[in-house]
Structures are given as structure tokens and as C-alpha cells.
Structure 1
Amino acid sequence: MKRTTTQLQQWLQADSQYLHDEQIAKRVVIDSRIVQEGDLFIPFRGEHSNGHQYVRQAIEDGAVASLWLKDEPNPPTDLPLIFVEDSELALQQLARAYREEINPVVIGVTGSNGKTSTKDLITATLQPYFKVQKTEGNFNNELGLPLTILNLDEDVEVAVLEMGMSGFGEISFLSKMAKPRFTVITNIGEAHMEALGSREGIARAKFEIIDGLQDGVLFYDGDEPLLQPLVDQTDVRAESFGYRERNRHHLVAVEQLEGGTAFRVEGTIHGDFEMNIYGEYQAKNALPALAIGHALGLSIEQMQSALKTAKLTAMRMEPVYLETGALVLNDAYNAAPTSMKAALNFFANYHHREKKWLILGDMLELGEEELTYHADLQEAVKMVKPERVYLVGERMKALAEALLKMCDAEIVHTLEKDSLKGLFSESTREHVILLKGSRGMALETLLP
């Protein structure tokens, strides 16, 4: 972004002091600790801190201006300020105005599992041929999304924006702000069951992503029966993807390679593809990337070449080779029953190393049936045929008890993950180890 502070004032239709046309804002930040030369600082008031007390320091650190809430007393009279009613609303208003001016092709991505991987795969497919920027980290909510939009380059051609939520109405709000041309629903899982009540509720919340769709296309998981009725109730242009032949884009063969995955796609797109990424479910996540690439005019050959160099955000089935020779598949960014079973299914079919360990952590935010969801993983674990299973957390006790009755593996359950520190120093030269749990478990800290 390169806008004068007076332009930002005009976008906000707000009063100001000491603004000058030569003051150019290049970035918007809400954390005073990361302020750089040319930033616009937006202070927020919270329960434990008030960003207004850092405004002067932000200006001294290089911010060209700051917002200031009208009801916040004692505004400094010698600093460049824009006076607003609400910091969050002002941030969102700026994002809407900037999005309208630069007008890129926006791709909105949501889903219970796989949205970050899908975002990465869409970006990898398009990046050799367009100027593409994507949501970084977890900037996918009512604060993160407008910050992402405001920090897009002016000449960006495609913006791949992840949209997260914890309740009804949130995805709709984000979609209307971003105004996507293409939207993607990766799947419907069980995360946020506490807030949304059922998988049907989760499906309705995710489907809100069409609310801001600008005469474009929804790409959705055609293997998920909860989505099809929602598609049928709208006149939105929609294309399904998945394993079933009736899907517009479907997988007909997936092969696990030593260093990744090979797969064939049929339907609207016909072709063979390879990725240096593990997981059959990642092949499915690649389908909307290919469908969008096709819609934007890329050839099969262009997309084949792009996918070969695709990389995912860290801790998404990330291969980590230890000094012992062991291969750890670090999938510890998050976990829910759907993604856990998908990872275990992949692991069961991974045959390049026969000696397997599992290190699984609690799955969080599953509501009243959380223990049942954990115990229900027993068959998927058994199919892996692991030598050892390490289970971490209170909820994983339910799976431990189920496995002790029907699995030949050595089962170790612990409430404290630190008790497993040093585990990888054992003789694991020929082993492959799956590491997976919810974000709150932070299992990656076990790695040496």
C-alpha cells in the first residue's frame, strides 16, 4: 500500500490533525512493537492494555500517523492523528476501500481442515504466472483479513485469502469484505462443534463464504453430503471436487512416493501430477488449485510444472529428518477427527519405511462428545500397525484405553508431553514417526 495519510482520512471520512500529503503510509499495523518507517498505527483498547499509550512511541519509531479513538481522553496535540469512533471498524473500512482500488482477483478459502494447505497449493499453482499474495500465518479473522488486504502490493494480480471462523456470521462478514471471484470450501469437520452445535451447523457457517462472491465460482468438497443441499438451494455457479466420479474434478489414482505424492485428475481437467508433499488428502486439496488455475487460463503443462515445486506452510505433514536417521512427519499444526483419520490413513499406506511410531495429542474444541471422537480413532490407528503409540493429554486417555484392548503396539499415555522429551534420541534410524495434535498441544516442541 502506498497512500497518503490524507487519502486514508478521506476513506474514513474522519477529522484529523497534522496530516500532510507528502506523508505516505506503506503498511497498517496494530502492534506497536513491530512499527516500521512508513506505517499507519491503529491502537486498540483491551482488558489489560490500551494501545493509545504507545502512540507517541509508534510515531517516534517511524509511523507516519496513528488513529485515535474519539472517546479516548487527552489526545496529544503535536502528533499526526486521525480521529475515529471504533478502531476495528476503521481498520475494516480502510481494507474495503483499498480492496476496491487495487481490485485483484480474490480467492477465498475456508474449511474445517486443509484450508491453509489449499491456500498454499493455490498460491503455488498460480505464482509462476501471476503476481500472487496470500494470507500469512493465521491472519484470517475480522482483524487479520483486513490487515492482509491492506498489506497487499498495489500491483498484486491474485490474492488468496484464508477465512476462519468460530461462529455463525463471521465467514459472511469476511467474504463481503474480500469480495472473492472464486471461493473454496475444503471440507466439513468437527472443529468448533461447541459453538455451532453440529456438523450441519458447521456446514452452514462455512457456506457463508458465497455471500460476498462476485459473479464467480464456488469450488466445494463434493464428497461431503452436507454441502450438496446447500449448493442446490442457491443459484451460485458451483463445481465439486473429490474422489467420486460424479465430481466435476475427481481423483482416479493416488500413489505415495518416497518424497511426495503422484495423482491423476479426470473430469474438466485431465492430467497426471506430482508434488513433493506427503498425503493422499493433499492431492484432494490440490484439486481446487487446479480448477482455479484452469479457470484463469493455465494449461495442464503449466500446472504440472508449478505443483512440482509447491511447498506447504510449516507443520503440515512437514518432513523432518533427524540425526538418528528417523523421518518425522510433523503434522502438529492442528487436529480434528477428520484430519486425524486422514493422516492416519495416509500413514497406514506409507510403505517406504515399515517401522512406525505415532505421537498423537489431544483434539480440542469438540464439545460434549470429545471422548467418543478420541476413542473412535482406534481402528485408524490399528490400520497403521505401529510399533509404538504415544498419546498425550487428558482426552487421549479414551483412545489409550480403547487401544489396549485391541492393538498389539506398545501404548504409552501421558498427561505431560515433556515426559516424552528425549524420545527421539532412542535408536530410530529406520523409523518414520507421525506427530499430530491440536495447536494447543504444541507437539512440535518435542522435536530436538
Structure 2
Amino acid sequence: MKQSLYNFLSLFHPRYPLALVYMAQQSEYKAGDFLRWFYRTTDFLRVEQRKKLVFTKKAIIFSILLVIATALLYLLAVWTALTGTLWSHYLYAVVIFGGTPFLVGYGTGALLFIWQFIEWPIRKGIVSLAKKQLLEHKGLRIGIAGSFGKTSMRETLRAVLGEGKKVAMPPGSHNTPLGLASFIRNLDGDEDVLVFELGEYYPGDVRKLCHMVRPDIGIITGVNEAHLEKFKDINRTRATIFELADGIAGGTLYVNKENEGSRTEPQLETRKKTFFYNRHGVPGVSIENAETGLTGTSFTLRVSGEAVTCHSRLLGLHHLGPIAVAVHLGLQLGMTPSEIQKGIGETKPFEHRLEPKIGGDGVITLDDSYNGNPDGVRAVIAFLSVLKGSRRWYVTPGLVEMGERTEIVHKEIGHELASAGIEKVVLVRNSVTSFIAQGLQEGGYRGDVVWFDKALDAFSALPNLTVKGDVVLLQNDWPDQYA
């Protein structure tokens, strides 16, 4: 009862309009995504748990509009109560006052819908200018599409190719038309290689981005259930990602052979200039004697009949496929084996993607909080399974946007954790982790399962539960709109 009252009062808190702006910002100002989040939120004072509202120009405009709208509605309620002479006027005042948060909330959704039409010609003009500028650029353009692994592939290309070539790519995970346009606008013009992540959220997204950047080479990292809630069907996801194959016309396409969703695409049977890659290499590039651990991954690289000993600071054998692609591209660009070897040595864990952090208490934390897809989960569990001699903790709230595959995916995670023999599994109570628990039970799990009501509670408690030498994997961190 107390919590319900608290949640209700959060609707009338002075920060309520700013909470709505934050939700709009995190939803990338998409009306549908915002309204779904608004509908399932109960406590509007806790939506900013992981991030904070960034006051961009757009956010400032929305903040001013919502604050003014909220204030005017409350003033209208007060004016109605003070000037009314009939009991019905007081009823109207109560209705206006109580309904203000809902009017402002759903009104924000309507405003976002209208805003998309207002922005459309502006966005089109910005993208058109960027496209024209890019057509005049002489650099090799590489497009990366896939349900997972795009950022890892991008950063691996940056490190390896950057040893002998000038490589540029959008900062962060800017993979939308406006994000790419901003990057293109700031190019020097003398770059040798340009790398683009092509984000896919709805059918046709990759085709639009290909039309914008005109990639010469395509890399498909894989297809899985990520964003299935939006796509509804895995075949629609696959079709959208493989729009990249059409977007590069007769250009070279690299496809992840380890991923069933990508290697079984029918059009690959007849497509020329297609290279399949995996942890053992890519045609012309062989990777042998690979070993991985907390200090990185070592292996022997065979290129042009020459054996080269390499070490990457990346954790996990799943990184060898992207390294093989980078090596293959480097050779085509005229890089020497020694340059490639040095570039591989520059590869290191990416932020929040199996990133090791050693605490003062001797506990090793593997921050994998940006890994939110089934293939990534399998890869990190496989990595944990090779770490012997340490007590291993697997901390997760589960995955989001798995659609109709939610139960199956999470039960499989439980089975894999049980098979790997992870000593401690920490689960956050929500709509999906019960399926992981079921999978653990079905898999005959013999370790300990620890439950927490909130992810932040788990993070706070872990220092008191772990001891020196423990390895703690933080797998996925739900965005605020799902927490």
C-alpha cells in the first residue's frame, strides 16, 4: 500500500516532466517506444537509474514545452476550483488536477509523433548533404550489419588496419542516419578506410543506410533473437540484415560461419565474392593453437605460408573470427605480416564488453554489461568455462526484446550455465530470470543461485559476498526502459 501511494505521488513530483523528457531521449524520440515505456512505468522518480537526462537542444525544447504544459494544466485546475460556484466546478478541478500527469504523458507521445514529421525534411537535407560528401571520398567503405558483434568487429578493424592505414569510424555506436551524417561531416578527406555500423531496428533500416554510405565491402556478424520484439519474426531480422548483401552489389561480403542464422541464408549459395569466417580463420588466413584466459588470447597466424605468433588482449576465442577478417582485409590493403601482428597486439577489451577490472580486494570483475544477445551470452559462458582455479560468479537480469523466444532463450542460458559448472549464479527478479532458474534446474545445476530484487541491489551486495581470486561476470544491464 505504501509503495503504491509512493508510485502515485511520483506522478505529481516537480521532476515528472523531466522524467518524461529523459524517457523520450532514451527512446530516441520514437513515439511508439516512448509510449510503451510510459505505459508500463509505475515509479517515475526511478526512471533515471543508469543514466541521466542530457540537456541537448532538443531535450531543452521538450523540457520547456512539458514544464509549461504541466504548469498551465495545474493552474487551470486551481483557477477552476477558486472561481467555481457549483460543486461540479470542484469536481472538474479534481479531474483536471488528477488527469494532468496522464494528459502530459500521452501528450508527449503525440508530440513525438508530430515532431517526427517536423524533423523529416531537416533530417532528409542533412543526410542528403552527407551522402554527397561521402560519394566524393576516396576511402574504402566497410559496412557492418548483424544482430550482435558489430562494435567488436568495428574496434578490431580499427586496431588492426589502423597500424598501416588511416582508419575512421563514427564515435560510440552511432549507427543511425543522423549519427552517420554527423561523422561524415567531420571527415578530413584523406582517410584510407571508413567503417560504418549499420543499425537494424525495423525492416528496411540496413537498406536505407546502405543507400546512404554505399559500402564497398560488407561484414555480417550474425543473426539471432536480438530485437525480435520489434521484428516479430527471425526471418524478418535475417532479411533486414542481409539487405547489406544487396547494398554492396558485387562487392566482397564476409559472413560469420559460426552463426547458424547467417550461414544458412539461401542467397549465399549463388553469391560470388563471399568469404565465410570463424575462429579458425578465413580463406587464405589460418588461425591455429589458440588459447585464451584472463590476460588475453594467444595464437599462431598463418598467412602467405608464414607463421606469425600473435597475442591479443581480447578475452575469448569468439574474437578470433573478427581478427581473421581484419587480417584478410589488411593483406588486401597491402599491409605486411609484421604490421598486422603489431595491430593485433593493439586489440584490447572494449568498454562494457567482457572488459576486465581488478579491484583492490583482488576480485576480478568482467564487465559485459553491454552484451545483450544469445550468441554473446554463449561466448562469455564458454570463456568462463576455461577459467579453472577461481570461483566464478555469473550476474544477470537476463535479456530483453527476445519476443516469442524469451522462454526458450533463457532456459538455454540456464542449461549452458549448468553445463559450464559456474559456481555462483546471481539472478535479478523480473519477467525472464525465472526461465533461467528453470534451465539451471533442468540442467542439473549444482552451484548456488542468489536472488536480488533489483540489479543495483546485487551490485551493492557483491563486494560483501566475494573474496580474493573470485571472477565476477556482469552480463547485460537492462536499459532504464526495461528495468
Query: Structure 1 length normalisation: TM-score?
Result: 0.75
Q: How does 1:172-183 map to 2 (within 5 A)?
A: 172-183=207-218
Using the TM superposition, give the Cα deviation of residue 400 of structure 1 relative to its aligned residue in structure 2, in angstroms: 1.7
Which one of 292, 313, 333 corresponds to residue 296 of structure 1?
333
Cα RMSD for the two superposed structures: 3.2
Does the Cα contact within 8 Å between 1:358 and 1:388 map onto a contact in 2? yes
Does the Cα contact within 8 Å between 1:242 and 1:251 map onto a contact in 2? no
Q: In the alignment, what sits opposite 1:140? A: 175
- Alignment CA distance shift 1:232-1:394 (3 Å): closer
Using the TM superposition, give the Cα deviation of residue 370 of structure 1 relative to its aligned residue in structure 2, in angstroms: 0.4
Q: Which runs of 5+ in 2 are unaligned?
A: 1-52, 66-113
Q: How does 1:32-181 map to 2 (within 5 A)?
A: 86-181=121-216
Does the Cα contact within 8 Å between 2:397 and 2:478 map onto a contact in 1? no
Does the Cα contact within 8 Å between 2:365 and 2:473 map onto a contact in 1? yes
For each residue in 1:212-250, what CA deviation from the matched residue of structure 2 results, as whole angstroms up to 9, or x when unmatched?
Answer: 326531111123344354443654421111147896655
Q: Which runs of 5+ in 1 are unaligned?
A: 1-30, 36-42, 51-70, 73-83
Does the Cα contact within 8 Å between 2:165 and 2:193 map onto a contact in 1? yes
Which one of 369, 382, 390 corresponds to residue 418 of structure 2?
382
Q: In the alignment, what sits opposite 1:65? A: none
Using the TM superposition, give the Cα deviation of residue 424 of structure 1 relative to its aligned residue in structure 2, in angstroms: 1.8
1:330 counterpart SS class: strand
Does the Cα contact within 8 Å between 2:280 and 2:320 map onto a contact in 1? no
Using the TM superposition, give the Cα deviation of residue 374 of structure 1 relative to its aligned residue in structure 2, in angstroms: 0.6
Q: How does 1:177-326 map to 2 (within 5 A)?
A: 177-213=212-248, 215-225=250-260, 226-232=262-268, 235-243=271-279, 249=285, 251-265=287-301, 271-326=308-363
- Give me the whole-angstrom Cα distance separating, in 2, the residues matched to 1:246 and 1:311: 21
2:177 counterpart SS class: coil
Does the Cα contact within 8 Å between 1:120 and 1:312 map onto a contact in 2? no
- Give me the whole-angstrom Cα distance separating, in 1, the residues matched to 2:319 and 2:466: 30
- Give me the whole-angstrom Cα distance separating, in 1, the residues matched to 2:319 and 2:403: 27
Structure that is richer in helix per residue:
2
1:398 counterpart SS class: helix
- Alignment CA distance shift 1:283-1:245 (3 Å): closer
- Give me the whole-angstrom Cα distance separating, in 2, the residues matched to 1:355 and 1:297: 46
- Give me the whole-angstrom Cα distance separating, in 1, the residues matched to 2:372 and 2:146: 13
Using the TM superposition, give the Cα deviation of residue 47 of structure 1 relative to its aligned residue in structure 2, in angstroms: 7.5
Does the Cα contact within 8 Å between 1:241 and 1:250 map onto a contact in 2? no
Identical aligned residues as a percent: 22
- Alignment CA distance shift 1:133-1:234 (3 Å): same
AA partner of residue 126 (structure 2): L
Q: In the alignment, what sits opposite 1:436? A: 475
Q: In the alignment, what sits opposite 1:422? A: 461
Which of 1 and 2 has greater Rg? 2
Does the Cα contact within 8 Å between 1:203 and 1:227 map onto a contact in 2? no
For each residue in 1:11-70, what CA deviation from the matched residue of structure 2 results, as whole angstroms up to 9, or x when unmatched?
Answer: xxxxxxxxxxxxxxxxxxxx99679xxxxxxx89997789xxxxxxxxxxxxxxxxxxxx
For each residue in 1:79-110, what CA deviation from the matched residue of structure 2 results, as whole angstroms up to 9, or x when unmatched?
Answer: xxxxx971110111111111122332111112
- Give me the whole-angstrom Cα distance separating, in 2, the residues matched to 1:49 and 1:266: 61
- Give me the whole-angstrom Cα distance separating, in 2, the residues matched to 1:214 and 1:417: 45
- Give me the whole-angstrom Cα distance separating, in 2, the residues matched to 1:208 and 1:152: 26
Query: Structure 2 length normalisation: TM-score?
Result: 0.70
- Alignment CA distance shift 1:102-1:44 (3 Å): farther
- Alignment CA distance shift 1:94-1:212 (3 Å): same
Aligned residues between the structures:
376
